Amino acid sequence: MVDLIRKILDVFYPLVSRIFDKTTYYYAACGTGNLVLSWFLFFLFFQFVFQKKIFYVNLIDYSISAYTLSSFLCFIIAFCIGFLLMKYVVFTQSELKGRIQLFRYGLSSLITWFASWLILKILIEILQFYPSIANVISSCIVVVISYLLQKKFTFK
């Protein structure tokens, strides 16, 4: 599967070879695919699974919004897919052990998810954006942070 992904990506690499080195290109392509998948899943979870509702947890007197639940589920799915893509397609030259990479990827993913969720919350609750649009905007903002964390920390 990894070879197939790389072969498909390599077909399009000449189009951007003057702009990106191959690792950055692979990162951008895999990350974009994973990001678009998470946007699609967020929309499905928010609209259809959680039906835009607010859920109340009576035991601890707490409420949780459909966009928070959707964001968290997307984080879990994107985390799994993203780690596999980063480890086996993008940063294959890393000499760090897999468990160290997984721990670092988890830490950097939590940081970027929290930043994205915080921006999402501000866009929805303060600026009154529609949640699916706010999700796209917030994730675009944290892409740069994510790239730097992956390149300089997780898979260095």
pLDDT tens across the length of the chain (156 residues): 899 999 999 999 999 999 999 998 998 999 999 999 999 999 999 999 999 998 988 777 788 999 999 999 999 999 999 999 999 999 888 888 989 989 988 998 898 889 999 999 999 999 999 999 999 999 988 888 887 877 787 777
pLDDT score, position 14:
96
CB neighbour class for 91 (10 Å; exposed up to 12, middle 13-18, buried from 19): buried
pLDDT score, position 152:
80
Q: Looking at 12-61, which runs of residues are DSSP E strands?
A: 54-57
Cβ atoms of residues 89 and 6 within 8 Å: yes
Sketch the domain layout of the chain as residue ranges: 2-154
Cβ atoms of residues 77 and 38 within 8 Å: yes
pLDDT score, position 150:
75
pLDDT score, position 65:
93
pTM, 2 dp: 0.85
